[in-house]
Amino acid sequence: MRIVRLAPLFFLAGQLVNAQSIRPKVVVVTYFEVGEDTGDRPGELQYWVERDHLDRKIEVPGMTRAVRANASGTEVAVAIGPGNIKPGINLMVLGADPRFDLRTSRWLINGIAGISPADGTIGSAVWTDLVVNGDLAKEIDPREIPTGWPDGFLSLDATTQSGPKGGDRWEDDVRHWGGAEARSNRRGNVIRLNRSLLDWAYGLTKDIAIPEDAAMRELRGKYAGAAGTRTGPKVQVGANMATEIFWHGAKLDAWAHRWVAFETDGVAKLATTAMNDSGALLALQALTKQGKADWDRALLLRTASNFDMPPAGTTAAQNLETEKHGGYTAYLPALEAAYSVGHRIVAEWLK
């Protein structure tokens, strides 16, 4: 007869815990990797794996890629994209795996993004204060929008663009959100990161110098006159627009600015555009409610690899031909910025 030895279990804070569980101090969350986790052209995960010696691979059924961990298990990293749906599923699967105890873990979510030239330049590192899901809306084809509308988008429960967001009395006014804790509205399309933690992270990293190479400087010069391109890349704070669609162009840039202000009652100011963060953060919120994580310990860092609209004299379609995923002008610099700025925080958390 074969004897199977089970890891001892005990209850802690109302949770059944495996005594041999991995209890990371830090979970680094990224969204994509190009090929292998090490040794080839990097995606968002690779620098973390290589430079932080996350040599252990832990397969978790249902996750996009294996979890990477250091020898002690104090730091783990995951790649959980693409899109908004996969990140939510991946993190819920991770939280359900009894081999991981994430209740006291701190979370650094980071990835590359587009940036509006009105708000910054490529290479910049943006600590995100609010995330707006731009997919939860009604849309009229631009060729059929009423005269006077700036775009075809309106609130999900409205019949005109002048209608209140979400319908009368459905969504709370973001201007009235007190406290510093992480929170979301009822629909989950506006999410605020913990303000105190964000202020701490920004204060610790705001003076980090971010290099600008000749190609980045040349491209920034093509947006001369835009408020965000007057200086080179830097560490800043701003909102992120999360949509499943990779949109591009001046008209959609104008919509994104309008929509972020509309959904947040004027509180947030657009900085970056990406796909994933609503799903990831709502999963962390759900795990927090289950007592399996704490989303008040989460930070979101977006680093700009490309502009969200073309420079003057170039059409949106033409610009997409030259600025391609994995080949953006600031693709590698944005990955470097994510690690250099993000690791300053991770190092503090690992102390």
Of 49-63, 150-164, 276-290, which range is least confident?
150-164
- CA–CA dist 121, 132 (Å, integer): 20
The pLDDT assigned to 226 comes to 97
- Does 53 map to a domain? yes
The pLDDT assigned to 251 comes to 96
Residue-wise pLDDT tens digits, 302-314: 999 999 999 999 9
* Angle, alpha carbons 114-272-274 (nearest 5°): 65
- Is 60 exceeded by the pLDDT of residue 321? yes
- Does 14 map to a domain? no
Label residue 158 by pLDDT band (50, 70, 90).
Answer: confident
CB 158 within 8 A of CB 238: no
- Does 11 map to a domain? no
- Does 13 map to a domain? no
The pLDDT assigned to 261 comes to 97
Average pLDDT on 108-122 reads 98
Instruction: Retrieve residue 6's tokens.
Output: 């089970």
- Is 60 exceeded by the pLDDT of residue 60? yes
50: left (phi over 0), alpha (psi -120 to 50) or beta: alpha
Label residue 13 by pLDDT band (50, 70, 90).
Answer: very low
- Is 50 exceeded by the pLDDT of residue 135? yes
The pLDDT assigned to 147 comes to 93
The pLDDT assigned to 19 comes to 55
Average pLDDT on 268-276 reads 97
- Is 70 exceeded by the pLDDT of residue 274? yes
Instruction: Retrieve residue 89's tokens.
Output: 């599923």
Average pLDDT on 314-322 reads 95
- Is 70 exceeded by the pLDDT of residue 167? no
Q: Domain of 251: which CATH number?
A: 3.40.50.1580
Counting the structural domains of the chain, the total is 1
Cβ atoms within 10 Å of 117's Cβ, excluding its own: 24
The DSSP annotation for 18-56 comes to ETT-B--SEEEEE---SSSSSSSS--TTHHHHHHTT--E
Instruction: Retrieve residue 85's tokens.
Output: 């749906």
* C-alpha pair distances (Å), 148 with each of 151, 161, 301: 9, 10, 36
The pLDDT assigned to 163 comes to 83
Label residue 9 by pLDDT band (50, 70, 90).
Answer: very low
Average pLDDT on 16-35 reads 87
Kind plus residue range of the DSSP H or E element containing 128: strand 125-133
Q: Which range of residues forms the domain containing residue 220?
A: 21-350
Q: Which of 250 and 172 is assigned the larger pLDDT?
A: 250
Residue-wise pLDDT tens digits, 208-230: 999 999 999 999 999 999 999 99
- Is 50 exceeded by the pLDDT of residue 7? no
CB 134 within 8 A of CB 256: yes
The pLDDT assigned to 157 comes to 84
Helix residue spans in the chain (DSSP H):
46-51, 85-96, 195-205, 214-221, 250-263, 277-289, 316-322, 331-350
The pLDDT assigned to 168 comes to 63
- Does 257 map to a domain? yes
- Does 199 map to a domain? yes
- Does 8 map to a domain? no
Average pLDDT on 135-143 reads 94
- CA–CA dist 103, 106 (Å, integer): 9
- Does 31 map to a domain? yes
Label residue 17 by pLDDT band (50, 70, 90).
Answer: low
The answer to whether the predicted template modeling score (pTM) of the entire model surpasses 0.85 is yes
Average pLDDT on 101-107 reads 98
Q: Where do we find the tokens 């990831």?
A: 280
- Is 80 exceeded by the pLDDT of residue 166? no
